[in-house]
Structure 1
Amino acid sequence: MNSVKLAIIDDHQVVINGLVSMFSATPELDVVLSTTNHQELLEYVTHTPPDVLLMDIQMPQINGIDLCKLVLKKNAGVKIIAFSSFDDSHLVKQVIRNGASGYVLKNADQQTLLQAIKEVTSGQEYLDDSIKKLLLQESLTGQRRSMFEIPLTKREKEILKLVAEEHSNQEIADKLFLSLRTVETHRFNLTQKLGAKNTAALVKEAIKRGLID
Structure 2
Amino acid sequence: MPKYTVIVVEDDLTILARFSALIAAQEDLALLAIASTKQEGINALLLHKPDILLTDIGLPDGSGIDIIKAINREKLDCEAMVISGFQDEHIVFRALEAGAKSYILKHDDEVIITDAIHSMMKGGAPMSPIIARLMLQKFQSHSQNNALPEALTDRQVSILKLISQGFSSREISEKLDITYYTVTTHIKNIYTKLQVNSRTEALHEALKLGLIQL
TM range (shorter): 0.5 to 0.7
User: Cα gap change, 1:66/1:47 in structure 2, threshold over 3 Å: closer, same or farther?
Assistant: closer
Tell me, in whole angstroms, the C-alpha distance in 2 between the residues paired with 1:47 and 1:8: 14
Matches within 5 A, 1:3-152: 3-142=3-142
Deviations 1:118-150 (A, max 9, x none): 1221222222121111111222345xxxxxxxx
Structure 2-normalised TM-score?
0.61
Q: Offset of 1:4 from its aligned partner?
A: 1.6
Specify every segment of 5 or more residues in structure 2 that has no aligned partner in the other structure, as ranges: 143-214
How many residue pairs get aligned? The number is: 143
Q: Offset of 1:38 from its aligned partner?
A: 2.8
Q: Offset of 1:6 from its aligned partner?
A: 1.2
Secondary structure class of the residue paired with 1:126: coil
Name which structure has the greater RCO, CA cutoff 8 Å, separation 6+. 1
Q: Offset of 1:50 from its aligned partner?
A: 0.8
Equivalent pair of 2:50/2:78 in contact (CA under 8 Å): yes
Secondary structure class of the residue paired with 1:108: coil
Equivalent pair of 2:41/2:67 in contact (CA under 8 Å): no
Tell me, in whole angstroms, the C-alpha distance in 1 between the residues paired with 2:74 and 2:13: 25
- The amino acid across from 2:81 in the alignment is I
Equivalent pair of 2:89/2:135 in contact (CA under 8 Å): yes
Tell me, in whole angstroms, the C-alpha distance in 2 between the residues paired with 1:120 and 1:41: 20
Tell me, in whole angstroms, the C-alpha distance in 1 between the residues paired with 2:62 and 2:75: 18
Tell me, in whole angstroms, the C-alpha distance in 2 between the residues paired with 1:65 and 1:22: 22
Equivalent pair of 1:45/1:75 in contact (CA under 8 Å): no
Deviations 1:98-125 (A, max 9, x none): 1111100111111111121112212222
Structure 1-normalised TM-score?
0.61
Specify every segment of 5 or more residues in structure 1 that has no aligned partner in the other structure, as ranges: 143-213
